[in-house]
Every structure is written in C-alpha cells, then in structure tokens.
Amino acid sequence: MVTSVSWWEGAVVYQLIPRSYSDGDGDGIGDLKGLSGRLSYLRWLGVDAIWLTPIYPSPLQDGGYDITDFKNIHPELGDLAAFHRFLTSAHAQGIKVILDLVLNHTSHLHPWFQRARWAPKGSPERDVYVWSDDPNRYAEAPILFRNFETSNWEWDEVAGQYYLHRFLRHQPDLNYENPWVQEQMLGVVDFWLQKGVDGFRLDAVPFLFEAEESRCEGLEQTHDFLRKVRTFVDNSGKDVLLLAEAIQPVEEAAPYLAEDELHAAFNFELTAQLFAGVASGNSKNLGLCLNKAQEVAPGSCWALPLRNHDELWLGDGHLVPEEVIQSIRAGLHQGNGHWLNWGINRRLAPLLNGDPRANRLLHALIYSLPGMPCIYYGDELGMGDWPGLRDRDPNRTPMAWTPGRNGGFSTAPDPLLVLPPITAPGYDYRVVNVEVQKHLPGSLLNWHRRMLTCRRLLPALQAGGFEILDSGHPSVLVFVRYIKNMTVLVAANLSAAGASFHLDLSRWEGASTREVLWGCYYPEANEKWFVYLSSYGFNWWLIGEVEETK
Ligand code: GLC
C-alpha cells in the first residue's frame, strides 16, 4: 500500500560500501554478515536508510559498477539468503535499504555481452549493446573517465565492430533502443522489489540513450524510459524510492524530478558550492544555488551529499572559480589534491584540512537545508583517506570500528584486506574509530548523533518551507525552515574568522528565541537581533514556542 507520506520524507541516508564496512567471515573483505552486525550502530547513530554501493557479482573493474549478474549477490559478500537475512534484520531495526541500480551498462564479462560479440552482426543478440563500424559516431558525447579512456568506443576483435562505453572499456553500454533491454531491466527492478528493498539509487541516469549531434545526456527517450520505471514501481503498490545520480548543474538534474519521473536526485551543484563556500569564506553562490534548486524543482526532494565513493565534482570550471578549486586543493591535509577524471578523489576530513569545525558546519547545513541529507560512511568520525591508492580507492578504505587489529574491520591478516585501514598521522584508526568516539562526549560521532536526534524532533527541518534571510555579512548564510506551528532559524559562518552581524527578525517581533542544541534562551526577536558566530560557527534557534498540534 502506498501511504500518503512516503518513508523518505525527512529521512537521513547513510551511504556505505559493503566491501569496506565490516567483515563477518574473516576473509579480509566486508560482507552482508558483517554489515548485519553493524545495524545496531546505524540505529544508534540515528539514520533512517542505508544505501549500499553495488552488491552484485562483478569482476570489480569499477568498484562493482560493472555487473555480470543483476539478480545475484557477489559471492564475497554472501548470497541471496544472506541478503534476505540482512534485509529482514535492517527492517526489524527500522532501517530502510536502498540498492544501487546500474541501468546504463554491464560488465564486458556479462553473458549478454559475450553472446553479443559472438552473434552475427545485426542479430537480436548483438543488438543488446551499442555497436558501430565507425568510432566517430556520437562524436559530441564527452569522454567521462578522461583519466582512463581516450575514446567512448572500443574495438572488439571477435565482433569486428566497435562498442560504445561511456565509462570504462570494461563497461559496454546497453542499447535502450532495444525493447528487450528495457524489459530485462524492468525485470531486474521487479526482482529486487519482490525481495523487499525500499529504494534504488539509479546510477548514471543521463546516459541511457544516444543521438547524433547531442552530448548523449538526458535525451527525451531517456526520460521516457525513467517514467516507465516510475510507473512500474507505482504499479507494484510499494513505497519505493527512486533516486537519480546525474552529476550535473541543478537545472540539468531538475528534469529527473518531474512529477511522473523520479522521486529524488542528488544536488551535486550544492555539494560543490558548500566546499567552495568554505574554501572562499563567501556564502553568495551557495545562497544563489539554494534558491535556484527550489525554483527549478519546487517541492521536490534533492538528496544532499557532502562526499561519496566518487570524486568531488566542482562543476567542470563553470560553477566554482579556478582559484577556489586551487585553494581547496592547496588546503588539503596530507598529500596532494589529486585530480582524477572530473574532481578530487579525497575524503571529507582531509578536504577540510582535518578541521572538525568545518565538518560540523557542513553537516549542520545538510541536516537543516531542504532535502535528504546523505552521510558517507566514516565521515561521522572524520575518518581520513589514503591519497596514494589508485582510482577512487583513497576514499573507499575500511571503516574504523575499534583501536584493535585492522580497526575492528576484519580479523584477517593485513595482506588479505580489501584496502588498507587508515594509519596516516591525525587519522590513525587507533584514535579515529567508533569505539573511542562513543566514549568521548565531545567527539564528532556524538555530535552527529545529537544533531540527528534534534533534527528528528524538529519537523520543520524535515519537510518545512525554506527562505533565505539577509545576514548582511558575506560569509554568513541565514535561513528559516518553517511549518505551521514551528519556525527554525539557521545561521552558518563559512569563514575561518568569527562573524558578528544583525538580523532583522521584526516579523517575529517579541517572540522568544531559543538555541536548539543546548536549549539556551537568546534575546527576544527584534529588528536588530545581534548574532556572533565563531570560526565555522553555526546555530539553530527556535523562534517562538512550538505550539502543540491538536
Ligand atoms: C557512477 C558511480 C561511479 C561509477 C560510474 C559508472 O557515477 O557513482 O562510481 O564508476 O557511475 O558506473
């Protein structure tokens, strides 16, 4: 039964890489058994849903986004029975589960692709992928993985043709012009719906269809197919989230949020502006981006990540000025800010020069702005990374649970570990881990938990209206979130210097103001309400008393 309020309204999502989260069988690789054992931690932290990066069989040439069987589990992670046990136990603890669904491509080792290359040219089997005799077809489609590929086409000796791959050459693009492909992928959606999952993060949605003289992104046919997915899910009667990954500016991502299309889309432009804001100490572009996001998709749900398993996208030189990008890279704590395909492949903490105040500030913003906050595993601890690792592995290393062996991630000997746990100075797992931080009242981890608790108690932050107020200070973003009986005022200082300013709160003249986190009263609202925020400081205040709803 579809309820009137969907489960994701007001939800906080936690993204994790199962292979790097917790190893339940001691082979050095995180798995579903290990993850099941950590659900109580996630419940304690206060997240509503977890998004798992791909868990399907895969040769792992692209972190599992190269799939050989969409309806199974990678043997290193478990099997379908283990998935069932994990899902049942997540649901029993009130945690929803979102799977990554890769629609655009498969692994080159997928049986469909192997069959296609051996099948005669023009046959239905060959037609499952996109082939060409000419590698200049769709010449305007940009190369996405610029660090690894020089063409979107790869010559296949057996087929005697080129095949299209918008990502790695190990990831041939499926041919969505072929109704069989569409039917199969809807079958995949159905398979996991029947298993009881609560949502899908739809990977790389802009690239499903191609057309000459276009960038082959977000074409009308692509939107048509996504509407089919939506109708399919709606017809199942299940309350299932469809979340789009389109690494594009707000205007280009907004069409996926049309009423009959997907429920949510990541706002990567906002992510870029949050980092740029902190790097430049200026809140102007952040404010503009926030207003634009509300205008282009009013009432829609933007998902708000700070970091994820990919690079930090800063907008291809159009969104964030070059000097700000350079200052983010220069400010990196340890190692250099390695530029991969389209961004920086580092974790949040080192990107913020190891400053926990900036970690708090950026999370306080995503926890209070309109949209669905997305926490990347380990960022609740301020976990570090390993800059020297290949591709995007620097920010995919094992979760730090304890000060013990391998940070409590696995009991396996070091050489067997999926990736090395962090021992870099300042981020060593013997110091930065769940167990230690749980015991320290002032830790980042306890702060996140407290913030999530407060957020849960403030429905205005979950689904309220949004309006930016003028702070008169270049570094400070101020806004209100409101519902009928509750108004929350938020102020955030993006600068490393303290900021004092006055706010015009005359429309709430005489109302009480109370700081939320510690319950401290401030002077009554007036026309010239004085605020001081320390370096990277922020505050949430309730304006007026919360009226009981009858
Ligand atoms: C998405 C994923 C990324 C992957 C790519 C190709 O952008 O987030 O990790 O490499 O799609 O599937």
Q: Is the CB–ligand 1 distance for residue 203 below 6 Å?
A: yes
Domain assignment present for 204: yes
Q: Write the CA distances from 30 to 36, 58, 215, 410, integer angstroms.
A: 11, 15, 38, 8
Q: Which residues contact 361 (CB under 8 A, 6 or more apart)?
A: 278, 492, 493, 494, 536, 537, 538
For ligand 1, pick from 16, 100, 108, 167 the residue to mutate: most ligand atoms within 8 Å of CB. 167
Q: How far apart are CA 229 and CA 190, in angstroms?
A: 10
Q: How far apart are CA 123 and CA 210, in angstroms?
A: 20
Domain assignment present for 549: no
Which residue, 455, 482, 511, sits at the end of a domain?
455
**Which pLDDT band, with edges at 50, 70 and 90, does 206 fall under?**
very high
Q: Is the CB–ligand 1 distance for residue 17 below 6 Å?
A: no
The letter for the amino acid at 487 is: T
Q: How far apart are CA 347 and CA 422, in angstroms?
A: 12
Q: Is 480 helix (H, G, I), strand (E, B) or coil?
A: strand
Q: How far apart are CA 507 and CA 524, in angstroms?
A: 12
Lowest mean pLDDT among 52-66, 168-182, 309-323, 494-508: 309-323
Per-residue HEC secondary structure of 429-454 comes to CCCCCHHHHHHCCCCHHHHHHHHHHH
Domain assignment present for 1: no
Question: Residue 100 belongs to a domain with what CATH number?
Answer: 3.20.20.80
pLDDT at residue 3 greater than cutoff 70: no
Q: How far apart are CA 486 and CA 546, in angstroms?
A: 5
Question: Residue 503 belongs to a domain with what CATH number?
Answer: 2.60.40.1180
Q: Which residues pair with 98 in a beta bridge?
A: 51, 199
Domains of the chain: total? 3
Q: Which of 160, 158, 141, 137 is nearest to 149 (CA)?
A: 141
Share of the chain above pLDDT 70, in %: 98
Q: Write the CA distances from 38 to 32, 33, 42, 110, 536, integer angstroms.
A: 10, 9, 7, 32, 32
Question: Residue 129 belongs to a domain with what CATH number?
Answer: 3.90.400.10
What confidence score (pLDDT) does residue 337 get? 65
Domain assignment present for 379: yes
Same structural domain, 100 and 117: no
Which residue, 428, 455, 482, sits at the end of a domain?
455
What confidence score (pLDDT) does residue 336 get? 67
Q: Write the CA distances from 15 to 75, 96, 214, 343, integer angstroms.
A: 21, 12, 33, 19
Domain assignment present for 449: yes
Q: Around Cβ 120, how many Cβ atoms within 10 Å? A: 9
Same structural domain, 200 and 245: yes
Q: Is the CB–ligand 1 distance for residue 63 below 6 Å?
A: yes
DSSP type of residue 174: B
Q: How far apart are CA 288 and CA 291, in angstroms?
A: 5
The per-residue pLDDT for range 492-512, each reduced to its tens digit, is: 999 999 999 999 999 999 999
Contact status, residue 513 vs residue 521, Cβ threshold 8 Å? yes
What confidence score (pLDDT) does residue 2 get? 45
The per-residue pLDDT for range 34-77, each reduced to its tens digit, is: 999 999 999 999 999 999 999 999 999 999 999 999 999 999 99
Domain assignment present for 17: yes
Same structural domain, 145 and 287: no
Question: How far does the centroid of ligand 1 lie from the alpha carbon of residue 535, in Å?
Answer: 35
Same structural domain, 346 and 447: yes
Q: How far apart are CA 74 and CA 94, in angstroms?
A: 25
Domain assignment present for 172: no
DSSP type of residue 221: H
Same structural domain, 475 and 440: no
Same structural domain, 160 and 46: no
Treating both helix axes as pointing N-terminal to C-terminal, what angle do 322-330 and 268-280 enclose, rounded to 10 degrees?
Answer: 70
How big is the chain, counted in residues? 550
Same structural domain, 116 and 98: no
- Give me 133's structure tokens: 């005799």
Question: How far does the centroid of ligand 1 lie from the alpha carbon of residue 62, in Å?
Answer: 8
23, 48, 76, 203: which one is catalytic?
203
Domain assignment present for 169: no
Task: Tell me whether residue 325 is exposed, middle or buried, using C-beta atoms within 10 angstroms of its C-beta: 0 to 12, 13 to 18, 19 or more.
Answer: buried
HSE-CB for 489 with a 13 A CA cutoff: 25
What's the domain range around 121?
111-164
Same structural domain, 47 and 22: yes
Q: Is the CB–ligand 1 distance for residue 86 below 6 Å?
A: no
pLDDT at residue 146 greater than cutoff 80: yes
Same structural domain, 512 and 381: no
Same structural domain, 530 and 412: no
Q: How far apart are CA 266 and CA 233, in angstroms?
A: 20
Question: How far does the centroid of ligand 1 lie from the alpha carbon of residue 428, in Å?
Answer: 28
Contact status, residue 140 vs residue 213, Cβ threshold 8 Å? yes
Residue nearest (by alpha carbon) to ligand 1 atom 8:
310
* DSSP labels, 351-396: HTTT-HHHHHHHHHHHHHSSSEEEEETTTTTT----TTSSTTGGG-
Q: ∠ CA(473), CA(479), CA(480), 5° rounding?
A: 150
Same structural domain, 326 and 425: yes
Q: How far apart are CA 533 and CA 510, in angstroms?
A: 22
What confidence score (pLDDT) does residue 342 get? 86
Q: How far apart are CA 493 and CA 366, in angstroms?
A: 14
Residue with tokens 């700070």, as numbered in its chain:
306
Q: Which residues contact 508 (CB under 8 A, 6 or more apart)?
A: 487, 525, 543, 544
Q: Write the CA distances from 169 to 152, 162, 172, 173, 178, integer angstroms.
A: 8, 11, 7, 10, 21
Question: How far does the centroid of ligand 1 lie from the alpha carbon of residue 314, in Å?
Answer: 16
Share of the chain above pLDDT 90, in %: 94
Same structural domain, 258 and 118: no
What confidence score (pLDDT) does residue 428 get? 98
Cα Dmax for the chain: 79
The per-residue pLDDT for range 97-127, each reduced to its tens digit, is: 999 999 999 999 999 999 999 999 999 999 9
Question: Across residues 14-39, what is the average pLDDT?
Answer: 98
Question: Across residues 430-440, what is the average pLDDT?
Answer: 98
The per-residue pLDDT for range 380-407, each reduced to its tens digit, is: 999 999 998 999 999 999 999 999 999 9
> Which sign, positive or negative, has the C-alpha torsion 130, 135, 140, 142?
positive
Question: Across residues 29-33, what is the average pLDDT?
Answer: 98
Q: Around Cβ 359, how many Cβ atoms within 10 Å? A: 23
Residue with tokens 């926030």, as numbered in its chain:
290
pLDDT at residue 549 greater than cutoff 60: no
